[in-house]
Chains A and B, each alone.
Chain A
Amino acid sequence: MSLKGKAAAIGIAELKPWKEAPPNVTPLGLMGRLTAEAIADAGLEKKDIDGFLVGMPVADPGFIYPASAAEVLGINPRMLNVVDIGGASPAGMIWRAAAAIDAGMCSAVLCIVADLNRLGDQKVPVVSVQREFEAPYGNIGANCGYAMIANRHMYEYGTTPEQMAKVAVDQRTNALKNPLAAFGDKPLTIADVLGSRMIVDPLHLFEIVSPCSGGSAVIVASPEVARRAKNPPVWLIGAGEYSNHASITYAPSLTDSPIKPAAENAFRMAGVERKDIDLVCPYDCYTITVLVTLEDAGFCKKGQGGPFAAEHDLSYAGDFPCNTHGGQLSFGQPGLGGGMSHVVEGIRQLMGRGEGRQVKDAALAYVNGNGGIMSEQVSLILERRA
């Protein structure tokens, strides 16, 4: 059993994230626009969409959400669900869509996320054990957990602030060529990053994603539907998922993440090597996340993420193109649309639609989705066939 080549991404839609959303937008309103744009991009009609995977917006949550959203959009799915694995949800949708298609349940799945976020007070976690054992000590929101990962990584491996900052700097170089990036107007230097305000030691402001509003959508289709699509199909050839904790305190290790088994499964399924990959799109809620992902996905040795980032050019024109859309650090984090931005960029590049930041002859992309505090991991390998 394998999902290799069983389904392809054939259409995408993505909004430029708003730092402050206009007053008249709603998550379902954004989903309407994204649905129309993604269907048009694929060259399909609405009636062709028979699968529906949706992320539950924080700004408009509810139980039994998928049917309500599908009803608003006028979609009658043969398979529908919410995917609820944090920032890994969008990447998780892609393989779940392929699995449903491979099982014969449906043939064209709309994977969609949209949300409105405002900077400010992070709500106390609602899961009872986190409210009881984390919140009283101030372990609220994601910043603290990633800061403790970064401090431990520095302690175990000698990773430096400059090495972490380099990720934000190179990704900003990419964002300058992405008209959809919310933070793509001026270049960034390592001194800028390290000179920005310290938020949670050792992470500075420019190493932390900024909540935005927006959304994105991807259509995953069967080989039959993909054959009549407008775009060159981008095939899912490898996928893996893994979780081993929710709060980082109870993870087996702060520095060995569940990315490793997820990535190993994806590469085994795809039957390709790390050196074959033309671009990587690792989830980057923080700079440290990228270093740990490059290590655990096998692009460098454990603990060597810092020197690897320092020694390689991570820009679209460099020797190791990484988050060519700018990453969420420069694109912005419109809720789950942040996680979807890595999926969309992988597809866009393999379709040859990277415009000013196109990676030359890109045929294979590695995408990683990360939820919570490195809690849920989904690795995907995408391929454009000649």
Chain B
Amino acid sequence: MSEYHKPLPKPSPVSAPYWDAVRRHELKLQKCGGCGAFIYYPRPRCPHCLSENLEWRNVSGRGKLYSYTVVRRASSRAFADGPYVLAIVELDEGPRMTTNLMAEPEKIKIGMPVTVAFDDVTPEHTLVKFKPV
């Protein structure tokens, strides 16, 4: 297999359950027991009410494309291997995520429905990407 040269996430004690689930191709987010909000990215406390009563819940993996760009010339050499679609997806549960949209640039429209597409970029690392529904 080809080597993977792009940056990889290093889970923290706070985020380890998120990445563990992602490796199993499950999307789990924290849900605040104090105010009910879903939270992304994983936090030590709820950023809305500072409650530490956070539970991991499976979420739908569905959402809408909030915005995107086709990066034709990357600022980082790690991404110099060709254009890629950087995107912000707004999940049905509320939070927005930085991600990649796996789609042809000409077919992308802001607001289009998308669904999660797990990408096993190395044997140990899976990233959370999205594709059009």
Contacts and interface: CB of A to CB of B under 8 A. Distances in A.
Contacts of A188: none
Given A199-B73, A201-B105, A249-B96, A136 B67 contact: no
A140 B79 contact: yes
Contact of B67 (A123, A128, A137, A152): A152
Nearest to A148: B67
Interface string A136-150: 111111111001110
A250 B40 CA distance: 9
Nearest to B10: A132
A198 interface: yes
Nearest to A124: B7
Contact of A148 (B68, B72, B79): B68
B75 A148 contact: no
Contacts of A129: 41
B110 A133 contact: no
B15 interface: yes
Contacts of A63: none
A151 interface: yes
B12 interface: yes
B77 interface: yes
Given A139-B98, A155-B67, A200-B73, A144 B86 contact: yes
A333 to B, nearest CB: 14
Given A200-B72, A249-B88, A131 B67 contact: no
Interface residues of A, number: 37
Given A132-B9, A148-B88, A250-B96, A140 B66 contact: no
A148 B69 contact: yes
Interface string A145-166: 0011101100100000000000
Interface in B56-77: 66-77
Interface string B119-131: 0000000010100
B11 interface: yes
Nearest to A205: B73
Question: Which of A123, A124, A142, A199 is the most central at the interface, judged by chain B CB atoms within 10 Å of its CB?
Answer: A199
Question: Which of A128, A132, A148 is the most central at the interface, judged by chain B CB atoms within 10 Å of its CB?
Answer: A132
Contacts of B115: none
Contact of A151 (B67, B76, B77, B98): B67
A254 interface: yes
A100 to B, nearest CB: 31
B111 interface: yes
A355 interface: no
B97 interface: yes
A136 to B, nearest CB: 5
A264 interface: no
A333 B10 CA distance: 32
A134 B98 contact: yes
A152 B66 contact: yes
Contact of B8 (A123, A136, A155, A249): A136
A231 interface: no
Interface in A99-127: 121-124
A138 B9 contact: no
B84 interface: yes
Interface string A195-212: 001111110000000000
Contacts of B30: none
B79 A138 contact: yes
A197 B73 contact: yes
B99 A254 contact: no
Which A-B residue pairs are the 4 nearest by beta carbons? A141-B75, A147-B69, A122-B75, A135-B7
Given A132-B9, A135-B7, 10 more contacts: A124-B76, A129-B41, A132-B15, A140-B74, A140-B78, A144-B86, A151-B110, A198-B72, A199-B72, A199-B73
Interface of A: 121-124, 128-129, 131-144, 147-149, 151-152, 155, 197-202, 247-250, 254
19 contacts: A122-B76, A133-B41, A134-B98, A135-B76, A136-B7, A137-B129, A138-B6, A138-B76, A138-B78, A138-B84, A141-B75, A143-B75, A144-B71, A151-B68, A151-B69, A155-B67, A197-B73, A201-B70, A247-B98
